[in-house]
Amino acid sequence: MRLIIFGAPGSGKGTYASRLKSKLGIVAIATGAIFRELAKEETSLAETVKSFLELGQLVPDDIVIDVLKGRLMKKVLEGFILDGYPRTLVQAKALDALASIDAVIHLVVPDWIIIERLSNRRICSKCGEVYNIRFLKPRRPETCDKCGEKLLQRADDTPKVIRERIKIYEKQTQPLLQYYEERIPIVRCKCDSIDMPPEAVVANILERLEALDLT
C-alpha cells in the first residue's frame, strides 16, 4: 500500500504514520526528519536547507525532489506512507512518475490545538526523543528520560513561526487536495480535541481504508 498523509505541522502526521506503518506492514518516510538530519551536515546544501527550516519556510522543489527521489525508489515495492511530501504540485507530479498512490489521509485539526502542541514540544538533543512539557512531561525538567541529555525547543516551534507554517501549509495544500481528489480516494479525519488519543485516530483511519478495500 502506498499512502500520503496530509496535515498542518503539529496535526500528528508523524505519530499516526509511525503507528500505521506497523499495522499495515509498510515504511514511513518523513520529509521533515530527513531535512533536519541533512541540516546538521557541514555542506552548502545543509546551510541552504537550514536557512529555510529556521524561518519555517518550505525547502524549494528541486532540492526536495532530488533528496527524496533516491529514498522513494528503494521503498516503492515495500509500500510506504509519505509524511511531508509532496507539498507542491510540482512535487506531486514528480511523485506520479515514481509510484502510484492508493489513498491520501487528510488530518483536519484546529489551529489552536496545533499551536498548543508545538509550542510545548521539546526534543532530546542527543537521541531525538520527543516530549511535551504540558501533556508528556519528562521525569526531570528539561532532561531526557532515555539518555539524560538536555531537551531543546526547535527554532520553528515558537507561536509566531508556527502560525506562519500553518499559513504556508494551507496555501500549498489546497491545490494538492484538489489534484488528488480528482484521482484517488481521500480519507478525511477530524480531531477537535487536544486530548484525543492517537489510537482512536489510527483506528478511524484503518476503518476508512478497509471500507475502501485497501486493507
Inter-axis angle of helices 111-119 and 159-181, nearest 10:
130
For 6, counting Cβ atoms within 10 Å of its Cβ (0-12 exposed, 13-18 middle, 19+ buried), the class is: buried
3-state secondary structure of 153: coil
Amino acid at 28: A
Per-residue pLDDT tens for 80-112?
999 988 988 999 999 998 888 999 999 999 999
Per-residue pLDDT tens for 20-50?
999 999 989 888 778 877 778 888 888 888 8
CATH class of 2-109+186-211: alpha beta
Catalytic residues: 13, 87, 121, 154, 165
Inter-axis angle of helices 31-38 and 61-75, nearest 10:
110
